[in-house]
Amino acid sequence: MTVLGEHRHVDAGIPSHDSAPHAPSAATASVPESGAWRPERGAGDRQFVEIGQLALENGEVLDDVTIAFETWGELDPDRGNAVLVLHALTGDSHVRGPAGGGHPSAGWWEEMVGPGRPIDTDRFHVIAPNVLGGCQGTTGPSSPAADGRPYGSRFPVITTRDQVAAERRLRDLLGIEHWALVIGGSMGGMRAIEWGVSHPDEVERLCIIASSARATADQIAWNNAQIASIQLDPEFRGGDYYDDGNGQGPRSGLGIARRIAHTTYRTAEELESRFGNQAQGLEDPYDGRGRHQVTSYLDHHAVKLARRFDANSYITLAQTMSTHDVGRGRGGVVQALGRVRARTLVVAINSDRLFPPALVEEIAQHVPQAQWQVAASPVGHDAFLLAHPGLEEWIGTLIGD
């Protein structure tokens, strides 16, 4: 096992900061009803492609679908150097680049993608789309439907396969016939393995990090608790809270969902080593008014997410993750994974309690000739976002020729 480098704290796809958070009441004062991207905020580095109607796995049709994406590096004349990078649950297309100009956070994987990085943009043309159902420019619940109003509660249930179908339509419209590499971690890894199974002849190399071929009961249970916390917020209004006139929205419920999720992304040992039972500043948690440091930390991440994400998208994507199963309708997971033809790297994190190594290894066991690696880290699931020599070496070997 390779030990991950000194960890930098991350926010499920977006680097975070360790500055002391403010109290929840003060911090939420400027939080909008939805943190979804809007055109008036500026496109930033986003590009947009209209992919038209998309037939969904449940039989419904989603009209006028838009995909937002970002690119780095030049596409070769033979269009054979395209790499697809797939983000996690609350990530987006902004893999690298500064915050600002329409981007609420700096790039979430700059250590891995860029000139001279393991995914070298001097060699590869990297494409990172915002996922279908997301809220950073791609069609999702906060997007306008045909009547001009946000979809809200009318947005259909979508699956991982629907998301891959949208990404495939994007690729076709960009004139790319196959991917030199498809790579993703966590929810992005779910889409990556679906790419390898659904379109085995269109993926040359495949990298799955801290992800799985199917959702587990444990993952579904955690997702259910997060979804319920949003839906039970009085400001959720059945999913139709956009422009409700009071600027509230279900930010409290979204914040609770974030606290639950963030706890599963870390380890008990890491939280204990950082915070223990220490009070925040001079506050006394034992007088009923103060807070513990770990409570302040979770409050901070809750408010931070509410400023840049949409509650309906959170529900949509969590439900999508819960229905993920590459074996559905294909004779089971083992038979489905046997369809993969790509040169495949599968990486687990030894302390990951959301995607434990035994679950991740299921992919490596059944994908023909997959390379299997386990990285050691005290951080837990979020460690997949951190730069470290092991992952750099393994990806370098995968794409070395």
Among 198, 381, 382, 388, the one annotated catalytic: 381
Handedness of CA 15, 46, 150, 320 (dihedral sign): negative
- The answer to whether 30 and 46 have CB atoms below 8 angstroms apart is no
Encode 101-127: b = buried (16+ Cβ within 10 Å), e = exposed. Answer: ebbbbebbbbbbbbeebbbbbebbbbb
**Annotation marks residue 352 as catalytic:** yes
Task: Tell me how far CA of residue 84 lies from CA of 28, 189, 197, 368, 370, in angstroms.
Answer: 35, 11, 15, 21, 19
Q: How far apart are the first and last CA of the chain?
A: 24
**Annotation marks residue 381 as catalytic:** yes
Among 92, 162, 310, 352, the one annotated catalytic: 352
Among 186, 211, 313, 377, the one annotated catalytic: 186
383: buried, middle or exposed (CB in 10 Å: 19+, 13-18, 0-12)?
Answer: buried
Task: Tell me how far CA of residue 176 lies from CA of 169, 224, 264, 360, 371, in angstroms.
Answer: 10, 37, 37, 29, 26
Q: Which residues are catalytic?
A: 186, 352, 381
